[in-house]
Amino acid sequence: MKFARDLPLRLPPPFGAKGQELGDAVGQRLDATAQLSREAVLARLPGYGPDDALPYIGQERQLPQGGSETDDDYAARLQNAWAIWAGDNTPLTGKGGGAGSPLGLLNALSAAGFATGETGATLVQQCGRDTAGAERGYAQLDDDGELVLGTLMECVNRIDLTGNVNPRPGWTFNAAKPNFWTIFGIVFPEWPGGALDAALLNSVVVKWRPAKDLFVGTWTIEAGRVYGWPLERTYGADGVYGGNTVTFYPGPNGEADLVGYYHL
């Protein structure tokens, strides 16, 4: 029973008509307060409360809404926040890598509105090895959102720990530290044009990368041919490389000074 209906009935008869009006007014105020309390509880629950509460929930869970993400899709993602951050403890073969894994980072970039897939965001490790130590070096998402790991081309100027040239898979971002395997970058093999939202991308990477990894920055291949991507494109093959357009966007926190030499 609502307060506005119940409270006047509980007042003694001597209160009269004025007392009934007072009881009704107080009851309406109590009903409004109770309704606000119910709405406040629902507002904390994505998918049940108002859509304008979603940005505040997303801020709390550090999952901002993607530029093209609908409110319904965003609410569903916020409901799954714990699993998104924690993953399923199998970051290279599982369905949810979680924070600090290639799969988690790529999923976060996709949610932020960046293109993924074979021609989209591609993570590239300097040493040609992934975080599990396998001889791979790059990571992508396929069209179904599954993680794809691959081996980079041979880097002919690679110096090993003895100081000798020892060509092996990988790119060299920092010639002074060619064996510093935690350096990584992002490549967009086919960029549709326009400036990359580097600030947004960097903020995503800072949250989702492994804490031990250093992010050198992002390359967008916009036109022409480049040496090093696609991986089967080697020097002197597949036509002329001149006249290409590749834009580099430095990573956050001054990590751009890690760039020394790279195939692009």
Model pLDDT, residue 146: 87
Q: Residue 239 has what pLDDT?
A: 57
Q: Is residue 55 part of a domain?
A: no
What SS3 class is residue 81? helix
pLDDT at position 204 over 80: yes
Do 30 and 2 form a contact (C-beta atoms < 8 A)? no
**Is 112 a member of any domain?**
yes
How far is Cα 93 from Cα 134, in angstroms, rounded to an integer? 13
Q: Do residue 7 and residue 103 come from a single domain? A: no
Q: Which pLDDT score, from 0 to 100, does residue 253 have? A: 60
What is the residue range of 29's domain? 3-43
* Contact indicator for 31, 4 with CB cutoff of 8 Å: yes
Residue at 198 is within a domain: yes
pLDDT, tens digit, for every residue of 46-87? 878 788 888 898 888 888 888 888 999 999 999 988 888 888
Residue 92 lies in a domain: yes
Helix spans in the chain (H) = 3-10, 16-43, 54-61, 71-79, 81-86, 102-111, 198-208
Q: Is 30 found in the same domain as 106? A: no
93 falls in which pLDDT band (50, 70, 90)? low
Q: How does the average pLDDT of the chain come out, rounded?
A: 79
- Per-residue confidence (pLDDT) for residue 254, from 0 to 100: 52
Asked if 127 and 10 sit in the same domain, the reply is no
CA 148 – CA 16 distance, rounded (Å) = 78
As a residue count, the chain comes to 264
Share of the chain above pLDDT 90, in %: 15
pLDDT value, residue 30: 81
Query: Which pLDDT tens digit goes with each residue over 96-152?
Result: 678 888 889 999 999 999 999 988 999 988 776 544 445 558 889 998 888 888 888
Summarised one tens digit per residue, pLDDT across range 164-181 is 887 777 777 776 676 777
Query: In this structure, are 143 and 223 located in the same domain?
Result: yes
Is the residue at 65 inside a domain? Answer: no
> Quick check: is 70 in a domain?
no
29 and 131 within one domain: no
The SS3 of residue 229 is strand
What gap in Å lies between CA 92 and CA 121, rounded to an integer?
Answer: 17
The pTM assigned to this predicted structure is 0.75
